[in-house]
Amino acid sequence: MATEDHDRKLNIIFLPYFVTSHLIPLVDTASLFATRGVNATIITTPSNALLFQQSIHPQITLLNLKFPSSEVGLPEGIENFGSITSPEMAYKLGAGIQLLRQPMEQLIRDSNPDCIVSDMFYPWTVDLADELNIPRLLLHASNCFYHCVFHNLKLYAPHEKVQSETETFVVPGLPDEIEMKRSQLQDHLKTKTSYGQVIDVIKESELRSYGIVFTSYYDLEPHYVNHYKKIMGRKCWHYNLLYWIASPSNPMALLLS
Protein backbone atom coordinates (compact mmCIF):
# COMPACT_ATOMS: atom_id res chain seq x y z
CA MET A 1 0.00 0.00 0.00
CA ALA A 2 2.86 2.35 0.84
CA THR A 3 4.40 1.67 -2.56
CA GLU A 4 1.10 2.43 -4.29
CA ASP A 5 0.85 5.76 -2.43
CA HIS A 6 4.44 6.60 -3.37
CA ASP A 7 3.87 5.83 -7.04
CA ARG A 8 0.54 7.63 -7.30
CA LYS A 9 0.72 10.83 -9.31
CA LEU A 10 -0.14 14.01 -7.48
CA ASN A 11 -3.36 15.71 -8.51
CA ILE A 12 -3.14 19.51 -8.44
CA ILE A 13 -5.88 22.01 -9.32
CA PHE A 14 -4.81 25.30 -10.91
CA LEU A 15 -7.26 28.19 -10.78
CA PRO A 16 -6.24 31.23 -12.87
CA TYR A 17 -7.98 34.60 -12.67
CA PHE A 18 -9.60 36.16 -15.71
CA VAL A 19 -6.97 38.76 -16.54
CA THR A 20 -4.14 37.88 -18.90
CA SER A 21 -1.26 39.11 -16.72
CA HIS A 22 -2.39 36.71 -13.96
CA LEU A 23 -3.64 33.90 -16.20
CA ILE A 24 -0.45 33.33 -18.20
CA PRO A 25 1.96 32.77 -15.26
CA LEU A 26 -0.44 30.41 -13.50
CA VAL A 27 -0.98 28.39 -16.68
CA ASP A 28 2.81 28.31 -17.18
CA THR A 29 3.16 26.95 -13.65
CA ALA A 30 0.60 24.24 -14.38
CA SER A 31 2.50 23.29 -17.55
CA LEU A 32 5.75 23.09 -15.61
CA PHE A 33 4.31 20.63 -13.11
CA ALA A 34 2.60 18.60 -15.83
CA THR A 35 5.96 18.29 -17.58
CA ARG A 36 7.32 16.74 -14.38
CA GLY A 37 4.57 14.11 -14.12
CA VAL A 38 1.90 15.83 -12.01
CA ASN A 39 -1.77 15.41 -12.93
CA ALA A 40 -2.53 19.09 -13.49
CA THR A 41 -6.07 20.37 -13.98
CA ILE A 42 -6.91 23.95 -14.98
CA ILE A 43 -10.39 25.29 -14.27
CA THR A 44 -11.44 28.23 -16.44
CA THR A 45 -14.07 29.33 -18.99
CA PRO A 46 -14.19 28.74 -22.77
CA SER A 47 -13.03 32.18 -23.91
CA ASN A 48 -10.18 32.24 -21.42
CA ALA A 49 -9.17 28.73 -22.47
CA LEU A 50 -8.79 29.96 -26.05
CA LEU A 51 -5.96 32.20 -24.87
CA PHE A 52 -3.69 29.30 -23.92
CA GLN A 53 -5.08 25.87 -24.79
CA GLN A 54 -2.94 25.47 -27.93
CA SER A 55 0.29 25.92 -25.96
CA ILE A 56 -0.22 23.94 -22.75
CA HIS A 57 1.27 20.57 -21.94
CA PRO A 58 -0.81 17.78 -23.54
CA GLN A 59 -1.21 16.00 -20.19
CA ILE A 60 -3.06 18.96 -18.62
CA THR A 61 -6.77 18.45 -18.08
CA LEU A 62 -8.85 21.49 -18.96
CA LEU A 63 -12.21 21.92 -17.24
CA ASN A 64 -14.38 24.65 -18.74
CA LEU A 65 -17.25 26.29 -16.89
CA LYS A 66 -19.83 28.27 -18.83
CA PHE A 67 -19.50 31.94 -17.98
CA PRO A 68 -22.85 33.39 -16.78
CA SER A 69 -22.95 36.08 -19.47
CA SER A 70 -26.72 36.50 -19.64
CA GLU A 71 -27.07 36.57 -15.85
CA VAL A 72 -24.75 39.59 -15.54
CA GLY A 73 -25.67 41.32 -18.80
CA LEU A 74 -22.48 40.78 -20.80
CA PRO A 75 -22.18 39.73 -24.46
CA GLU A 76 -21.16 36.12 -25.02
CA GLY A 77 -17.39 35.70 -25.09
CA ILE A 78 -16.54 38.62 -22.80
CA GLU A 79 -14.85 36.63 -20.04
CA ASN A 80 -11.53 38.40 -19.47
CA PHE A 81 -10.71 41.88 -18.18
CA GLY A 82 -8.64 42.40 -21.32
CA SER A 83 -11.86 42.33 -23.35
CA ILE A 84 -13.85 44.96 -21.48
CA THR A 85 -14.33 48.52 -22.72
CA SER A 86 -15.94 50.30 -19.77
CA PRO A 87 -16.04 50.35 -15.95
CA GLU A 88 -19.61 49.05 -16.13
CA MET A 89 -18.43 45.98 -18.03
CA ALA A 90 -15.67 45.45 -15.45
CA TYR A 91 -18.27 45.43 -12.67
CA LYS A 92 -20.41 42.91 -14.58
CA LEU A 93 -17.42 40.69 -15.27
CA GLY A 94 -16.53 40.73 -11.59
CA ALA A 95 -20.11 39.80 -10.73
CA GLY A 96 -19.94 36.88 -13.17
CA ILE A 97 -16.74 35.63 -11.57
CA GLN A 98 -18.47 35.69 -8.20
CA LEU A 99 -21.28 33.56 -9.62
CA LEU A 100 -18.70 30.99 -10.72
CA ARG A 101 -17.45 30.42 -7.19
CA GLN A 102 -19.93 27.67 -6.31
CA PRO A 103 -19.43 25.61 -9.50
CA MET A 104 -15.66 26.06 -9.15
CA GLU A 105 -15.80 24.78 -5.59
CA GLN A 106 -17.83 21.76 -6.68
CA LEU A 107 -15.42 20.91 -9.49
CA ILE A 108 -12.51 21.09 -7.06
CA ARG A 109 -14.26 18.84 -4.56
CA ASP A 110 -15.14 16.34 -7.29
CA SER A 111 -11.51 16.29 -8.45
CA ASN A 112 -10.23 15.20 -5.03
CA PRO A 113 -6.97 17.18 -5.39
CA ASP A 114 -3.79 16.93 -3.34
CA CYS A 115 -3.17 20.67 -3.62
CA ILE A 116 -4.82 23.87 -4.92
CA VAL A 117 -2.78 26.55 -6.69
CA SER A 118 -4.99 29.59 -7.06
CA ASP A 119 -4.70 33.21 -8.06
CA MET A 120 -4.67 35.83 -5.30
CA PHE A 121 -8.16 36.98 -6.31
CA TYR A 122 -9.68 33.68 -5.16
CA PRO A 123 -9.12 34.07 -1.40
CA TRP A 124 -11.99 31.65 -0.72
CA THR A 125 -9.83 28.76 -1.90
CA VAL A 126 -7.99 28.83 1.43
CA ASP A 127 -11.24 27.89 3.18
CA LEU A 128 -11.86 25.11 0.69
CA ALA A 129 -8.31 23.81 1.14
CA ASP A 130 -8.85 23.75 4.91
CA GLU A 131 -12.07 21.81 4.39
CA LEU A 132 -10.30 19.28 2.17
CA ASN A 133 -7.24 19.19 4.44
CA ILE A 134 -4.82 19.97 1.61
CA PRO A 135 -2.31 22.79 1.03
CA ARG A 136 -3.31 25.90 -0.88
CA LEU A 137 -0.64 27.85 -2.72
CA LEU A 138 -1.31 31.45 -3.69
CA LEU A 139 0.06 32.88 -6.93
CA HIS A 140 0.96 36.57 -6.82
CA ALA A 141 1.71 38.21 -10.15
CA SER A 142 4.35 40.31 -8.38
CA ASN A 143 7.55 39.99 -6.36
CA CYS A 144 8.90 39.80 -2.81
CA PHE A 145 10.19 43.38 -2.86
CA TYR A 146 6.67 44.77 -3.32
CA HIS A 147 5.25 42.61 -0.54
CA CYS A 148 8.03 43.49 1.90
CA VAL A 149 7.50 47.20 1.25
CA PHE A 150 3.71 46.85 1.49
CA HIS A 151 3.98 44.90 4.75
CA ASN A 152 6.23 47.51 6.37
CA LEU A 153 4.07 50.40 5.18
CA LYS A 154 1.10 48.76 6.88
CA LEU A 155 3.14 47.87 9.98
CA TYR A 156 4.95 51.15 10.60
CA ALA A 157 2.77 53.66 8.63
CA PRO A 158 5.67 56.08 7.96
CA HIS A 159 3.49 57.95 5.44
CA GLU A 160 1.28 59.14 8.30
CA LYS A 161 4.22 61.03 9.81
CA VAL A 162 4.84 63.37 6.87
CA GLN A 163 3.07 66.67 6.28
CA SER A 164 2.45 66.59 2.54
CA GLU A 165 2.05 64.34 -0.49
CA THR A 166 5.51 65.31 -1.76
CA GLU A 167 7.55 64.97 1.43
CA THR A 168 9.96 62.02 1.35
CA PHE A 169 9.99 59.32 4.02
CA VAL A 170 11.98 56.10 4.51
CA VAL A 171 10.21 52.76 4.75
CA PRO A 172 11.70 51.24 7.93
CA GLY A 173 12.83 47.69 8.55
CA LEU A 174 13.93 46.76 5.01
CA PRO A 175 17.30 45.47 3.75
CA ASP A 176 17.82 48.75 1.84
CA GLU A 177 16.94 52.38 2.49
CA ILE A 178 13.78 52.76 0.42
CA GLU A 179 12.49 56.32 0.08
CA MET A 180 8.96 57.11 -1.00
CA LYS A 181 6.41 59.93 -1.09
CA ARG A 182 2.75 59.77 -0.09
CA SER A 183 1.86 60.60 -3.70
CA GLN A 184 3.44 57.30 -4.77
CA LEU A 185 1.24 55.16 -2.52
CA GLN A 186 -1.87 53.34 -3.62
CA ASP A 187 -5.04 55.04 -2.39
CA HIS A 188 -6.04 52.13 -0.17
CA LEU A 189 -2.87 52.60 1.88
CA LYS A 190 -3.86 56.19 2.69
CA THR A 191 -7.60 55.85 3.19
CA LYS A 192 -10.30 53.20 3.35
CA THR A 193 -11.46 52.05 -0.08
CA SER A 194 -13.50 49.12 -1.38
CA TYR A 195 -10.40 47.81 -3.16
CA GLY A 196 -8.50 48.08 0.11
CA GLN A 197 -11.08 45.81 1.71
CA VAL A 198 -10.47 43.25 -1.07
CA ILE A 199 -6.72 43.46 -0.46
CA ASP A 200 -7.26 42.92 3.28
CA VAL A 201 -9.17 39.71 2.55
CA ILE A 202 -6.43 38.57 0.17
CA LYS A 203 -3.71 39.29 2.75
CA GLU A 204 -5.63 37.34 5.39
CA SER A 205 -5.87 34.36 3.03
CA GLU A 206 -2.15 34.72 2.33
CA LEU A 207 -1.37 34.24 6.02
CA ARG A 208 -3.45 31.04 6.07
CA SER A 209 -1.97 29.63 2.86
CA TYR A 210 0.82 27.06 2.78
CA GLY A 211 2.96 29.40 0.73
CA ILE A 212 3.16 31.84 -2.15
CA VAL A 213 4.46 31.59 -5.72
CA PHE A 214 5.85 34.87 -7.07
CA THR A 215 6.26 35.62 -10.78
CA SER A 216 9.79 36.82 -10.20
CA TYR A 217 13.26 35.29 -9.88
CA TYR A 218 15.35 34.79 -6.76
CA ASP A 219 18.48 36.24 -8.37
CA LEU A 220 16.67 39.54 -9.01
CA GLU A 221 15.80 40.13 -5.34
CA PRO A 222 17.71 37.74 -3.04
CA HIS A 223 17.74 40.07 -0.03
CA TYR A 224 13.98 40.52 -0.18
CA VAL A 225 13.28 36.83 -0.66
CA ASN A 226 15.35 36.14 2.46
CA HIS A 227 13.63 38.99 4.31
CA TYR A 228 10.22 37.65 3.34
CA LYS A 229 11.07 34.16 4.55
CA LYS A 230 13.09 34.92 7.66
CA ILE A 231 11.73 38.21 8.98
CA MET A 232 8.13 37.88 7.83
CA GLY A 233 8.18 34.11 8.38
CA ARG A 234 6.39 33.03 5.20
CA LYS A 235 7.15 30.37 2.61
CA CYS A 236 7.56 31.47 -0.98
CA TRP A 237 8.89 30.20 -4.28
CA HIS A 238 10.02 31.91 -7.46
CA TYR A 239 9.92 30.71 -11.05
CA ASN A 240 13.56 29.61 -11.17
CA LEU A 241 13.13 27.62 -7.94
CA LEU A 242 10.01 25.93 -9.28
CA TYR A 243 12.11 24.26 -11.96
CA TRP A 244 14.15 22.67 -9.21
CA ILE A 245 11.16 21.83 -7.03
CA ALA A 246 9.21 20.12 -9.81
CA SER A 247 11.81 17.40 -10.34
CA PRO A 248 10.79 14.22 -12.17
CA SER A 249 11.53 12.03 -9.13
CA ASN A 250 9.37 13.90 -6.63
CA PRO A 251 7.50 16.94 -8.00
CA MET A 252 6.30 18.23 -4.62
CA ALA A 253 9.04 17.04 -2.27
CA LEU A 254 10.47 20.46 -1.50
CA LEU A 255 7.16 22.22 -1.84
CA LEU A 256 5.67 20.19 0.99
CA SER A 257 8.78 20.15 3.19
Residues 6+ positions from 173 with CB-CB distance below 8 Å: 152, 155, 156, 231
In DSSP terms, which residues pair with 236 in a beta bridge?
Answer: 212
Q: Could you tell me how many residues make up the chain?
A: 257
Residues 6+ positions from 8 with CB-CB distance below 8 Å: none
Catalytic residue chosen out of the listed positions 114, 119, 151, 159:
119
Q: What is the CA radius of gyration of the chain?
A: 20
From 202, 199, 197, 162, select the one nearest 182 (Cα to Cα): 162
Residues 6+ positions from 88 with CB-CB distance below 8 Å: none
CA distance 6 to 174: 42
Instruction: Give φ, ψ of 213 to 5 degrees.
Output: -105, 125
Q: Is the Cα torsion angle 52, 248, 135, 206 positive or negative in sign?
A: negative
Q: What SS3 state is found at 78? A: coil
119 catalytically annotated = yes
Contact between 104 and 15 (Cβ < 8 Å): yes
Catalytic residue chosen out of the listed positions 22, 140, 147, 227:
22
CA distance 43 to 64: 6
Catalytic (active-site) positions = 22, 119
